């Protein structure tokens, strides 16, 4: 099963693709979609086009995305929510189901601790996906989201669909 994880962001939208066969995981690809610095609508369009290209190239079977947390910056949270909307739209256009996970759930699954820092997450992603060249912290987070989804898809009572 090919799993694509998405770490939504307006400036940098991380993505990571893994293959899961039972409990075995294999790195396929990862990267970051950049939106540029123009007006909001054109930045969202750039994210949509870049993420659509990722889906067309890697053809995932399932998708996972990180849930948005609300912070003190309401404007920043709203913009993040709009980028997250694009990240939800693209897999829906491909007819895929979407798993959603909180940041703490992803960290607990991948690192074993719900409040791990970015370095710990990236280290554990590299341990679980040996040989993966990770293209930045946003891509590492996206791979962690994909790993989290793969583990939840194979948990008790769950069945992975190919």
Binding-site residue set: 7, 66, 138
Residue corresponding to tokens 């962690």: 144
Which among 7, 53, 100, 133 is annotated as catalytic?
7
For the beta sheet containing 98-101, the strands, ordered from the edge strand earlier in sequence to the opposite edge, are: 24-34, 12-21, 2-7, 62-66, 98-101
Residues contacting residue 149 through CB under 8 Å, at least 6 positions apart:
3, 5, 62, 63, 64, 99, 101
Residue 7 catalytic?
yes
Which among 53, 133, 138, 141 is annotated as catalytic?
138
Residue 53 catalytic?
no
Which among 66, 97, 122, 141 is annotated as catalytic?
66
Alpha-carbon distances of 15 from 53, 73, 108, rounded to whole Å? 12, 24, 19
Binding-site residue set for Mg(2+): 7, 66, 138
Measured CA to CA, the distance from residue 122 to residue 136 in angstroms comes to 9
Residue 66 catalytic?
yes
Catalytic sites, residue numbers: 7, 66, 138
């Amino acid at each position: 099963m090919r799993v694509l994880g998405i770490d939504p962001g307006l400036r940098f939208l991380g993505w990571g693709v893994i293959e899961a066969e039972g409990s075995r995981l294999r790195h396929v690809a990862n990267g970051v979609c950049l939106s540029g610095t123009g007006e909001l609508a054109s930045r969202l369009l750039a994210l949509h086009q870049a993420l659509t290209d990722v889906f067309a190239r890697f053809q995932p079977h399932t998708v996972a995305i990180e849930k948005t947390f609300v912070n003190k910056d309401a404007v920043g949270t709203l913009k993040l929510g709009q980028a997250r909307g694009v990240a939800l739209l693209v897999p829906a256009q491909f007819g895929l189901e979407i798993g959603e996970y909180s940041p703490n759930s992803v960290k607990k699954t991948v690192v074993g601790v719900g409040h791990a820092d970015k370095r710990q997450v990236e280290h554990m992603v590299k341990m679980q996906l040996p040989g993966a060249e990770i293209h930045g912290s946003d891509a590492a987070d996206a791979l962690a989201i994909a790993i989290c989804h793969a583990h939840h898809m194979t948990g008790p009572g769950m069945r992975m669909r190919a």
